[in-house]
Amino acid sequence: MLGISHLLISGTATSLLLGTANPTIIAVGAIAGLLPDVDISTSPAGRVLPWVSGFFESRMPHRSCTHSLFASGAIALGGYGIALFNPSFINLVHAVIIGYTFGWFADCFTRGGVEMFWPSPVRCVCPGNRNLRLRTGSNAEYVVLVILVAIALFIFNINNSGGILTQFNRLIASPSGVQRIYNESGSTHLIKANIKGVRYADRSRVNGQFYIIQTHGAGFIVLEPSTNKLYKASTETNSQIIIEEITADVGRAAITTVESIFLEDEPIVSAIARFNRTGTLVFISGQLSVDEFDTSVIPRDPYQFPSILATSSSVTLEAAPLRAVARYLGDEFATGSLQIRSIVSSS
């Protein structure tokens, strides 16, 4: 099989199985697909590593040891051993193992087959009819190459658009699909929700894009980027937006962190000041005890999520924007615990 065939098969398999469009990881997987042919000196891998190819070529036939489950197991053992000492390499290790395995497995469809269960000399070939197997450089292989290119472009496009899960969610347009995407990528990316529905207050239509801040019951607390207003979007009747259809896209990279702080009869504004960072979305949740608080200062808008609820002796916060907390509660002395959710996104 041609080297370009191995590159396409292994690169495509790496992208599909790891659900990635990262060019570095795909390239590593594709190049790993060439390594099984290091057992012959005329191959790309053999020319780069002549001392290795010389060792195998003088001792065993082509497509034997290096084209086997044994070889893939040895690669996996060594790769995961390295990853134990440096976990940041784990995705690259996955790519090498997938690329290498698919690199030799593709040769099962050639006329010579491979010794998959080496050291057993039995060759695995597919299909059984020899005339239907691929011959290196034949017209049939070039047809396969064209098909592989089409499949590769299709898979890369899917992964570049958020992956198969995102595409499936777009198809079914359900909160459960969005929940899975948020659980999978919400800590490392902004999740954009595309919502169609109605406002509970007046049944006016909603059709727009929002950022998911966090889950809430069977729905989500979402932020409208153009107005910085918060809503609960759900199928529940206590929501500001009643969902009819919802899909999600994985947006730009954004790291979400949650920190806890405790206030002991101190000004709220002083306790949260250090979280007021440029380029960071900050939302505060928790329960505070206060003395003789004037609840009339808290705005009441039936169209927005009530992120601040207050009585004369207590304040409950749920995904309340930091600026709103500082504006309406900043000078109050309070006791209690708060959870600070910070979302730092790339430009």
Q: How confident is the model at residue 45 (pLDDT cuts 50, 70, 90)?
A: confident
pLDDT digits 0-9 by tens, 178-193: 888 888 888 899 999 9
Q: Looking at residue 126, what is its pLDDT?
A: 76
Token pair recorded at residue 98? 């997938």
Q: Looking at residue 173, what is its pLDDT?
A: 47
DSSP string, 98-134: HHHHHHHHGGGGBSS-B-TTTTS-PPB-SSSSGGGSB
Kindly state the average pLDDT of the residues 73-94: 89
- Give the Cα separation of 103 and 72 in Å (integer): 10
Q: Looking at residue 282, what is its pLDDT?
A: 95
pLDDT at 195 over 90: yes
Question: Within a 10 A sphere around the Cβ of 80, how many other Cβ atoms?
Answer: 14
Average confidence score pLDDT of the chain: 85
Q: How confident is the model at residue 54 (pLDDT cuts 50, 70, 90)?
A: confident
Select from 3.40.50.300, 2.40.50.140, 2.115.10.20, 2.30.30.690 the CATH code of 165-252: 2.30.30.690
Domain boundaries, given as residue ranges, for the chain: 3-160, 165-252, 255-345
Kindly state the average pLDDT of the residues 227-239: 90
Q: Which of 170-174, 211-215, 253-257 has the lowest mean pLDDT?
A: 170-174
Tell me the Ramachandran region of residue 62: left when phi exceeds 0, alpha when psi lies from -120 to 50, beta otherwise: beta
Q: Looking at residue 172, what is its pLDDT?
A: 47
